[in-house]
Amino acid sequence: MSSKSVLRLALLVIVFGSLGVYALKKSSSEDAGAPGGATTHATEAAAVVVTYFTTDVRCDSCRTIESLSRESIEGGFPSQLEAGEVVFRVLNTDRGENAHYVDQYELANKTVIVSHQVDGQEVEWADRQDVWLLLDEPDEFFAYVREPVQRYLAKDDA
């Protein structure tokens, strides 16, 4: 075997080994709540479930929407999150177990849905589709995402 053949073989082993490690890491990160995995599971105690619906294809704007949505809920409702009254999650509609949400919420693209739950059943929901227009205005983004959460929590307190 010539030195060129040995070098080619070694490079192929390195390339395929790297691809294997990358695939393993990507799989592990998705299970832990990275792109499209549920980051927090809704419970029957939750009064409000905030879901960012995504897909396998994620652009910079998609990642920004997820980040701002998470920050909006975690920064606006820390005690309610801790108590389980508010839940934030990320679901990937390209996964079979989440595909039904496309019809349920008439999803045309990635969006944030705020769902009001009573006794574990959804009673109303709000589509925060305009998050796409507020990417460069974090304060307005936060207010827009938080508004239905506040409204639903107020209904439960009344």
pLDDT value at position 75? 97
78 or 158: which leads in pLDDT: 78
13 or 67: which leads in pLDDT: 67
Mean pLDDT of the chain: 84
Is residue 7's pLDDT more than 80? Answer: no
Residues 49 and 145: beta-carbon distance below 8 Å: no
pLDDT tens, position by position, 140-157: 999 999 999 999 999 888
Q: Which residue has the tokens 């039904």?
A: 100
Is residue 3's pLDDT more than 80? Answer: no
Q: What percentage of the chain reaches a pLDDT higher than 90?
A: 67
Mean pLDDT (whole number) for 111-135 = 95
pLDDT value at position 156? 83
Contacts of 102 (CB under 8 A, 6+ apart): 93
pLDDT value at position 88? 97
Is residue 109's pLDDT more than 80? Answer: yes
pLDDT value at position 120? 87
> Which ranges in the chain belong to alpha helices (H)?
3-31, 60-76, 78-83, 100-104, 138-157
pLDDT tens, position by position, 27-70: 444 443 444 444 444 455 679 999 999 999 999 999 999 999 99
Question: For residue 45, which of 101, 78, 87, 89 has the smallest C-alpha distance?
Answer: 87
